[in-house]
Chains A and B, each alone.
Chain A
Amino acid sequence: MRGRCSRPNLFLLAVTIMLGAASSVQAHLVNTGFGPFYDGFMHLFVTPEDLLPVIAIALLAGLRGPRFGRTVLFALPVGWIAGSIIGPAFAPPLSLSTPEIILTLGLGALLAADWPLPLAVIAGLGILLGLMHGILNANDLAKTPSSGQLVLLGVMVALFISVSILAGQAASVQVMWARTVVRVVGSWIAAIGFLMLGWAMRAPA
């Protein structure tokens, strides 16, 4: 016998084989399995249509300073709640896909341009964004009448956390290159908006 194998070696071998092994990937998250609150919480993070403009408005406000970030932190959820309340009043449900895309594109472009917008405009954009997405989400919430409030609460918490982190990080940016990176994120969001607009307006094959 030329020597005993140490446990770390065997462990490394097992890890190597497991890393090489392919497993099936589930692309769709149906629900979290943790109840309506966490379904709502995760909704924002698995819905890029909602997440992208939220990232854009949070970074846009953050780049202007902490006061702007704090305003959007409350303006966006307030608009979202208002939209969720008035959304079910529209029958048939509103289809806002093109205005939603244009707003995402515009927010991305404003972030890329690093435009010095006044506080009232940024707050208004936050409320408008919340209102629009609240109305769109209301139709989904209406399908779960027993737990709609909890789902909404989960969405609000996710919004609050996301905006706090992103706006806070953007507000703390001091150096030029870091500010440029934030602006590049904006240009990417605007680019995605352009492509989405193309998809929406694409002539049927």
Chain B
Amino acid sequence: MKYAKVSSEFGRRLGYPHFNWPDRLIVPLIGLVLLFYPLTAFAHKRGGEAIGFVSGFEHPISGLDHILAMVAVGLWGAQLGAPAIWVLPVVFPMIMALGGMMGLMGIPLPGIELCIALSAVALGFAVFREARPKLWIAAIIVGFFAIAHGHAHGTELPAGASGILYSIGFVIATGLLHATGIGIGLVHRWPAGRVALRLSGAAVAIGGMFFLWKALSGEPV
């Protein structure tokens, strides 16, 4: 057993040749050492550039309502097939960032939280029903919700962070969420995958209903 060899070798090298930990304790021991390894602590929030990128990257993936909608866009795109599968990931980040710009500039849009919750319901339902509207109709639906999501993000962006690195992190995370949806959606080529995809659409819609209920009841989403 490798662990036994490691423990006996440790003992030998430490000058205790008969020192031999039970095998099952070796892995927990290593875990314990790592847990107690001193980490650098920062008492104050820093405004440095790494913080800008990391916080920008974290922002789109910090809210489940956003994640559901972003992934659903990818799922729907994969279901619709070409050209939607490559039009949506090209167009969506730009429209969403346009909404983000409006949020940053302080241009008000009413009912944003409702729109975000509705986006998960509508997109999830579209995936569940395997809806196949014309491309321009699908683009308008997705674009409308993209503006709402972008606006919410733009309004929440913190002042003082490194703008460009924050934006890079934000856009990359959003794009990766789409890519995740498209990647999952590729199961659409198999019959069983098609059913699974429709079920996942139903799950997204149910999640959206939860957020819709929260938005309607005035609770913070």
Contact = CB atoms under 8 A, between A and B. Distances in A.
Interface of A: 1-6, 9-10, 13, 16-17, 20-25, 27-28, 48-49, 52, 109, 112, 176-177, 180, 183-184, 186-188, 190-203, 205
A5 B48 contact: no
A13 B106 CA distance: 53
A9 B75 CA distance: 44
B64 interface: no
B171 A188 contact: yes
B90 A109 contact: no
Given A5-B6, A195-B104, A183 B167 contact: no
B203 to A, nearest CB: 27
A25 B40 CA distance: 10
A190 B5 contact: no
Given A17-B33, A187-B89, A195 B154 contact: yes
Given A192-B168, A192-B171, 9 more contacts: A2-B4, A2-B8, A48-B165, A52-B168, A184-B175, A198-B100, A198-B102, A202-B106, A203-B106
A194 B9 contact: no
Contact of B39 (A22, A184, A199, A205): A22
Contacts of A9: 2, 5-6, 9
A198 B105 contact: yes
A195 B97 contact: yes
B192 interface: no
Main secondary structure of the interface of A (DSSP, over half): helix
Contact of B164 (A49, A177, A194): A49
Query: How big is chain B's contact interface, by range?
Result: 35 or more
Given A3-B5, A25-B50, A112 B94 contact: yes
B86 interface: yes
Interface of B: 1-2, 4-6, 8-10, 12, 17, 20, 30, 33-34, 37, 39-40, 48-51, 86, 89-91, 93-94, 96-98, 100-106, 154, 157, 159, 163-168, 170-172, 174-175
A20 B33 CA distance: 9
A200 to B, nearest CB: 8
B101 A112 contact: no
A195 B8 contact: no
Contacts of B101: 194-195, 197-198, 201
B8 A180 contact: no
A52 B172 CA distance: 13
Nearest to B17: A1
A109 B94 contact: yes
Nearest to B89: A184
B98 A194 contact: yes
B87 to A, nearest CB: 9
A107 to B, nearest CB: 13
Contacts of B103: 198
A205 B159 contact: yes
Nearest to A195: B167
Contacts of B167: 191-192, 195-196, 199
Q: Which of A5, A16, A17, A203 has the most CB of B within 10 A?
A: A5
